[in-house]
Structure 1
Amino acid sequence: MSDDKSKTGNDRKLISLEQEYELRDWTQSLGCTEKQLRAAVEAVGNSADAVRKYLSGRK
Protein backbone atom coordinates (compact mmCIF):
# COMPACT_ATOMS: atom_id res chain seq x y z
CA MET A 1 0.00 0.00 0.00
CA SER A 2 1.45 3.33 -0.96
CA ASP A 3 1.59 6.06 1.63
CA ASP A 4 -0.09 9.30 0.52
CA LYS A 5 1.68 11.95 2.56
CA SER A 6 -0.98 14.52 1.62
CA LYS A 7 -3.53 12.67 3.78
CA THR A 8 -1.94 13.06 7.19
CA GLY A 9 -5.23 13.20 9.12
CA ASN A 10 -5.71 9.46 8.74
CA ASP A 11 -2.15 8.82 9.90
CA ARG A 12 -3.18 9.76 13.43
CA LYS A 13 -6.28 7.56 13.37
CA LEU A 14 -5.06 4.43 11.57
CA ILE A 15 -1.96 2.36 12.19
CA SER A 16 -0.07 1.14 9.16
CA LEU A 17 2.37 -1.72 9.58
CA GLU A 18 3.72 -1.36 6.04
CA GLN A 19 6.27 1.43 6.48
CA GLU A 20 9.35 1.20 8.72
CA TYR A 21 9.03 4.82 9.85
CA GLU A 22 5.38 4.25 10.81
CA LEU A 23 6.29 1.18 12.86
CA ARG A 24 9.02 3.19 14.59
CA ASP A 25 6.75 6.17 15.26
CA TRP A 26 3.83 4.10 16.54
CA THR A 27 5.96 1.91 18.82
CA GLN A 28 7.58 5.02 20.31
CA SER A 29 4.24 6.79 20.68
CA LEU A 30 2.50 3.81 22.26
CA GLY A 31 5.46 2.62 24.33
CA CYS A 32 5.41 -0.91 22.98
CA THR A 33 7.52 -3.26 20.89
CA GLU A 34 6.88 -4.00 17.22
CA LYS A 35 5.71 -7.48 18.20
CA GLN A 36 3.20 -6.04 20.70
CA LEU A 37 1.98 -3.51 18.12
CA ARG A 38 1.47 -6.19 15.47
CA ALA A 39 -0.41 -8.40 17.96
CA ALA A 40 -2.64 -5.49 18.99
CA VAL A 41 -3.47 -4.60 15.38
CA GLU A 42 -4.26 -8.24 14.66
CA ALA A 43 -6.50 -8.42 17.73
CA VAL A 44 -8.48 -5.18 17.33
CA GLY A 45 -7.75 -3.79 13.87
CA ASN A 46 -5.74 -0.75 12.80
CA SER A 47 -7.69 1.96 14.63
CA ALA A 48 -5.19 3.87 16.78
CA ASP A 49 -7.80 4.38 19.51
CA ALA A 50 -8.63 0.67 19.64
CA VAL A 51 -4.95 -0.28 19.74
CA ARG A 52 -4.28 2.23 22.55
CA LYS A 53 -7.15 0.78 24.57
CA TYR A 54 -6.00 -2.77 23.90
CA LEU A 55 -2.41 -2.03 24.92
CA SER A 56 -3.43 -0.10 28.05
CA GLY A 57 -5.44 -3.09 29.25
CA ARG A 58 -2.47 -5.41 28.96
CA LYS A 59 -0.08 -3.47 31.21
Structure 2
Amino acid sequence: MSDNKEKTGQDRKEISLGEDYEVRDWTKSLGCTEAELRAAVKAVGNSAEKVREYLKKK
Protein backbone atom coordinates (compact mmCIF):
# COMPACT_ATOMS: atom_id res chain seq x y z
CA MET A 1 0.00 0.00 0.00
CA SER A 2 2.49 2.51 -1.15
CA ASP A 3 2.37 6.17 -1.99
CA ASN A 4 5.95 5.91 -3.20
CA LYS A 5 6.14 3.04 -5.69
CA GLU A 6 9.92 2.84 -5.10
CA LYS A 7 9.41 1.78 -1.45
CA THR A 8 6.69 -0.84 -1.58
CA GLY A 9 8.52 -3.42 0.56
CA GLN A 10 8.65 -1.20 3.63
CA ASP A 11 5.10 0.03 3.13
CA ARG A 12 3.73 -3.51 3.40
CA LYS A 13 5.27 -3.75 6.87
CA GLU A 14 3.59 -0.62 8.20
CA ILE A 15 -0.07 0.33 8.34
CA SER A 16 -0.97 3.91 7.54
CA LEU A 17 -4.41 5.16 8.52
CA GLY A 18 -4.02 8.49 6.75
CA GLU A 19 -5.40 7.45 3.35
CA ASP A 20 -8.86 6.01 2.79
CA TYR A 21 -7.63 3.53 0.17
CA GLU A 22 -4.97 2.19 2.55
CA VAL A 23 -7.51 1.70 5.33
CA ARG A 24 -9.79 -0.07 2.84
CA ASP A 25 -6.98 -2.30 1.56
CA TRP A 26 -5.72 -3.20 5.04
CA THR A 27 -9.20 -4.03 6.36
CA LYS A 28 -9.77 -6.29 3.35
CA SER A 29 -6.35 -7.91 3.73
CA LEU A 30 -6.71 -8.46 7.47
CA GLY A 31 -10.41 -9.37 7.43
CA CYS A 32 -11.45 -6.76 9.97
CA THR A 33 -13.52 -3.61 10.21
CA GLU A 34 -12.09 -0.11 10.10
CA ALA A 35 -12.86 0.29 13.81
CA GLU A 36 -11.01 -2.94 14.63
CA LEU A 37 -8.05 -1.86 12.51
CA ARG A 38 -7.86 1.55 14.19
CA ALA A 39 -8.13 -0.02 17.65
CA ALA A 40 -5.37 -2.50 16.82
CA VAL A 41 -3.03 0.22 15.53
CA LYS A 42 -3.75 2.30 18.63
CA ALA A 43 -3.00 -0.69 20.87
CA VAL A 44 0.18 -2.03 19.24
CA GLY A 45 1.41 0.58 16.76
CA ASN A 46 1.52 0.52 12.97
CA SER A 47 3.57 -2.66 12.46
CA ALA A 48 1.52 -4.93 10.20
CA GLU A 49 2.95 -8.01 11.93
CA LYS A 50 1.96 -6.77 15.39
CA VAL A 51 -1.50 -5.75 14.19
CA ARG A 52 -2.04 -9.22 12.68
CA GLU A 53 -1.04 -10.85 15.99
CA TYR A 54 -3.31 -8.50 17.93
CA LEU A 55 -6.30 -9.20 15.68
CA LYS A 56 -5.79 -12.98 15.92
CA LYS A 57 -6.11 -12.74 19.71
CA LYS A 58 -9.40 -10.83 19.51
TM-score normalized by the length of structure 2: 0.90
Moved over 2 A (4+): none
Q: What is the root-mean-square deviation of aligned Cα atoms in Å?
A: 0.8
Gaps of 5+ in 2: none
CA distance in 2, matches of 1:10, 1:20: 19
Which is richer in helix? 2
Deviation at 1:4, TM superposition (A): 2.2
1:7-57 CA deviation, whole Å, 9 max, x = no partner? 101121000001111101100000000010000000000000000000000
Question: Is the counterpart of residue 57 in structure 1 residue 57 in structure 2?
Answer: yes
Gaps of 5+ in 1: none
Counterpart amino acid of residue 57 in structure 1: K
